Amino acid sequence: MRGGSRIRTVRELRVSILFLAIVAVLPYFVIVPYWRGVLIVAMYFALVSAAWNLLAGYTGQFSLAPAAFAMIGGYGSGLLCYHFGISPWIGIPCGTLAATVIGLMLGRIVLRLRGPYLALTTLAFAEIVRLVISNEYEITRGDLGLSVTPLFEHQLNYYYLFLFLLVVVQIGLYYLVRSRAGLYLQAIRDDDLAASGRGVNVVLWKTVSFAVSSGICGLAGAFYVHFIRLASPELGLILQTGLVIAMVVIGGMGTLIGPLIGAFLVQLSSEALREVGLSHMLFFALTVILFGRFFRSGIWGGIDFLRDKWETRSESKEIMEAGGSE
């Protein structure tokens, strides 16, 4: 890592707060309910992407199950609401808890696996969950999905609710990443053997990371289900996971702000492209390949790199002007 990872994280937090502040005033300019809805969906994806980024970008656990955990969270709340008429305000914490606990168990199980093995196991898990939900028609109403009660009447309430969640998650992730625990996670990502040699409890922190990430996915999914008023197995499709990966890779993996940039950029421009009549997914898939191939650190990585270059240049200029004294 290039120097000053802490300064880097602070900078990322500042930019994300600025970014979210802009999002907060957007409804005053965006009046059309459709586009407000698009922004809410973007915030949902930003939450899931941020959660996946914690796992894949910071801990190096390339899971293919974020969409499945969002689905678990959504169904946790949706089932309680549909069958027992329990208020979403109780159902959503239950859904989140369910996703966290299942994430904890899966994290514990896949502890020893890495790389392609981990990816395949989580993929299998995601498919099993989705197949169970679409097959258990008596309980989950299969592919039709559960219709659930909305949280609010007004769309703007959802908007600020999701914004609030995003701010909380972003600040929470900031404190997590810059804390000792965050350093443990990154040490595990870079080399888990060396990390455990240095006294990091690899088992514990890998599991914690998996559970926290799944919990955030579940939270996002639970709220999202009440926003679209439908819990359906489509939430957990592999293509949804693909979208999340695309967002994080485009924004910048392993950075706080990357998932935010990626989610908003992909979601908004895909709507814009749809209006023009182009296949937006084609465009993003190509972008993901190109970013993966040529700019591994995503958009934020590019910005950061340019900034670093500029700073070093101005620093060295100052040193030159001061007579080159070391």
Partner 1 sequence: MLIFDIIVTGLMMGAFYSLMAVGLSLIFGILKVVNFAHGEFFMVGAYTYTLLSLNLGIPLWLALPCSFLLGAVVGWLTERLLMRPLYDKYTTWSVMRDEYAIIVTFGLSLFLINLANQIIGPYPYRGPQLVDWSRIEIGPLMISGHRFVASLLASAMLAAIYLFVRYSRWGKEIQAVAQNRLGASISGINSTRVSSIVFSLCGGIVAFSGGLLAPLFHAYPAVGIFPALKSYVVVVIGGMGSIVGSIAGGLLLGLLESFGAVYISYAYRDTFGFIILMIVLLIRPHGLFGEKVREV
Which residues here bind partner 1, judged by CB under 8 A? 56, 60, 62, 64, 109-110, 112-117, 119-121, 123-125, 127-128, 131-132, 135, 238-239, 242, 245-246, 249, 253, 279, 281-282, 284-286, 288-289, 292-293, 296
Closest contact distance (angstroms) between CB of 20 and partner 1 is: 26
Q: Tell me how far, at minimum, the Cβ of 226 lies from partner 1, in Å.
A: 28
Q: Are 287 and 250 in contact (CB under 8 A)?
A: yes
CB of 245 to partner 1, least distance (A): 6
Categorise residue 279: left if φ over 0, alpha if ψ from -120 to 50, beta otherwise. beta
CB nearer to partner 1: pick between 77 and 241: 241
Give the Cβ contact number of residue 220 at 10 Å. 30
Q: How far is the CB of 51 from partner 1 (least distance, A)?
A: 17
Give the Cα separation of 86 and 93 in Å (integer): 12
Looking at beta carbons only, is 168 or 290 nearer to partner 1? 290
Sign of CA dihedral 119, 121, 123, 126: negative
Specify whether the CB–CB gap between 181 and 208 falls below 8 A: yes
Strand partners, 147: 230
In angstroms, rounded to a whole number, what is the distance separating the alpha carbons of residues 257 and 138?
Answer: 42
Q: Which is nearer to partner 1, 116 or 324 (CB)?
A: 116
* Closest-CA residue to 262 (of 66, 54, 69, 49): 49
Nearer to partner 1, 148 or 253 (CB): 253
Nearer to partner 1, 119 or 235 (CB): 119
The distance of closest approach from Cβ of residue 288 to partner 1 in the complex, given in angstroms and rounded to an integer, is 4
Determine phi and psi for 146, rounding to 5 degrees: -95, 130
**Which CB atom, from 245 or from 261, has the smaller least distance to partner 1?**
245
Q: How far apart are CA 90 and CA 198, in angstroms?
A: 42
* CB 318, min distance to partner 1, A: 30
